Structure 1
Amino acid sequence: MNSKNTVVLMVEDNEHVLELNRSVLTRKGYTVLAEKNLTATRLLLKEHPDIDIVVLDILLPDGNGLNFIPELRETTSAPVLMLTSRRDYEDMVQGLTGGADDYMTKPYRVEELLARIAALLHKRETAHMSSELIRGPLTLDMVAHRAFLHGKDILLKPREYAVLLYLIRSEGQYIMAKQLYETVWRQPELDDSGAVKTVVSRLRKKLEGSGYVITLGRGRGYCFERET
């Protein structure tokens, strides 16, 4: 994954470590969001749920980063790199079995931090290429046939999922309702069916807040595109 436009959330209460890491990551092209405690992190995630990777300290002023991971997973599926001065083997095991993707102890070289972040992002991108279709905060699981917005299942019905998948794969192109109906319903379109219109209407509501919309072009059909 290219670092440009990649968002890193750093949760670290050590001012020196925080500023050093922020400076290094920013120079490498990452967008860095930083907080010093869990309370502020919760508020930030409500405003900026589209995180690509989280670098999380364990010992924070208002809680333990290890215990925060399950809560974090309710908001984002981004990989989590634990960064801590604690060297207890039990902490490492708890972190990795509790949802963290990697674990680093202080002190460390910034080159190692950069390498670990790049490796986690690459691993995530590779895994998603075959099984997931991602558009911003919207993720389609093509194995389970489910769609998630900001990490939450938007509970699509089978035909809603099929229509959305078809439109996303044709992103930026207008697809006639007849073509959608014949592909998804697998039967010739009935002039009075209204089925496609009904499904698209439901999808529009479920896509609110995703940054993407399904537009209707008169005489051209439906188009999945980025919201302007």
Structure 2
Amino acid sequence: MKNTSTSHVPRILMVDDEIAILRMLEATLDTGDYSLHQAETGHAALAAAVAVKPDIILLDLGLPDMDGVEVIRRIREWSQVPIIVLSVREQEDDKVGALNAGADDYLTKPFGVAELQARIQAALRRTLQQAPEPVYTFGDLEINLPLRKVLVAGSEISLTPTEYGILRLLATHAGKVLTHHQILKQIWGTTYTDQQNILRVNISHLRQKIESDASRPKYIITEPGVGYRLKTG
């Protein structure tokens, strides 16, 4: 559950490899209303998205190590944080590609300061108006979606973004069988729907962390030849 009190300062992650753009954004947004964080590469952005837990991400597409669209896809494996693309790319295909990957908004550079601020405020309002995410409890396993924490017998465990994404997906469909295809599509995207081995490896790692006996799992149950389900009782 997001903190909507007046003491909460929204965190903005600004991702751009141009120092001049980052300085401009900082000068524009450094009003005391936000907590500002920066990343200059795609990998740095992914790490910061986990560490900072931003309330909104401003993302350039032309990053030096990976395309911004790929950054969006990877973040969407585990987070629904609002992402506003800020890019010089103005072709319709570029905009459609970013939005289809999971971006919430798209501004073409150069853009007006007032318009950027309005887009940020609109995205934050939509986020705050969403229904609070639940906390799931299955025996000794607690999955706290608002805080993005997973506890086993009261102790917090560390999961990779992909492992957390899988567990979150299973928890939101607890008791129901999710096919290999469904999980692969939701977590890795449509190009990975036949890569069952990568799913098996991540399920194995996840079981090692949340199960008391990974060889006899009581939470993540295998449905042979079909997929997996999270046992509710």
Whether TM exceeds 0.5 here: the answer is: yes
Letter in 2 for 1:81: I
The 5 A counterparts of 1:101-180 are 101-128=104-131, 135-137=146-148, 152=165, 153=167
1:64 aligns with 2:67: yes
Residue 80 of structure 2 corresponds to 77
CA separation in 2, counterparts of 1:13 and 1:74? 23
What are the superposed Cα offsets for residues 146-188 of structure 1, whole Å, 9 maximum, x if unpaired? xxx9764356697xxxxxxxxxxxxxxxxxxxxxxxxxxxxxx
Of structures 1 and 2, the larger Rg is shown by: 1
CA separation in 1, counterparts of 2:54 and 2:11? 5
Q: Cα–Cα, structure 1 residues 74 and 105, in superposed 2: closer, same or farther, change >3 Å?
A: same
Which structure 2 residue ranges, 5 or more long, are not aligned? 136-144, 151-159, 175-208, 211-233
CA separation in 2, counterparts of 1:11 and 1:113? 15
Residue 219 of structure 1 corresponds to none
Residue 52 of structure 1 corresponds to 55
DSSP-derived class of the 1:60 partner? coil
Q: When the two structures are superposed, what TM-score results if normalisation uses the length of structure 1?
A: 0.56
Measured after TM superposition, the shift of residue 52 of structure 1 is: 0.8
Q: Cα–Cα, structure 1 residues 124 and 45, in superposed 2: closer, same or farther, change >3 Å?
A: closer
DSSP-derived class of the 1:63 partner? coil
Residue 34 (structure 2) aligned to one of 27, 30, 47: 30
Q: Is the 8 A contact 1:11 1:57 kept in 2?
A: yes
Letter in 1 for 2:15: V
CA separation in 2, counterparts of 1:13 and 1:26? 19
Letter in 2 for 1:89: E
Letter in 2 for 1:79: P
DSSP-derived class of the 2:12 partner? strand
Which has the higher mean CA deviation after the structures are superposed, 15-24 or 36-45?
36-45
Measured after TM superposition, the shift of residue 103 of structure 1 is: 0.3
DSSP-derived class of the 2:79 partner? coil
Which structure 1 residue ranges, 5 or more long, are not aligned? 140-148, 159-204, 207-228
Structure 1 vs Structure 2 CA RMSD: 3.2
Residue 145 of structure 1 corresponds to none
User: Following TM superposition, where does structure 1 have runs of at least 4 consecutive aligned residues deviating by more than 3 angstroms?
Assistant: 1-4, 131-139, 149-158
Q: When the two structures are superposed, what TM-score results if normalisation uses the length of structure 2?
A: 0.55
Letter in 2 for 1:10: M
Q: Cα–Cα, structure 1 residues 136 and 29, in superposed 2: closer, same or farther, change >3 Å?
A: farther
Measured after TM superposition, the shift of residue 121 of structure 1 is: 1.1
The 5 A counterparts of 1:78-97 are 78-97=81-100
What are the superposed Cα offsets for residues 62-105 of structure 1, whole Å, 9 maximum, x if unpaired? 12101221111124220110110110110011111111100000
Count of residues in Structure 1 that have an aligned counterpart in Structure 2: 151
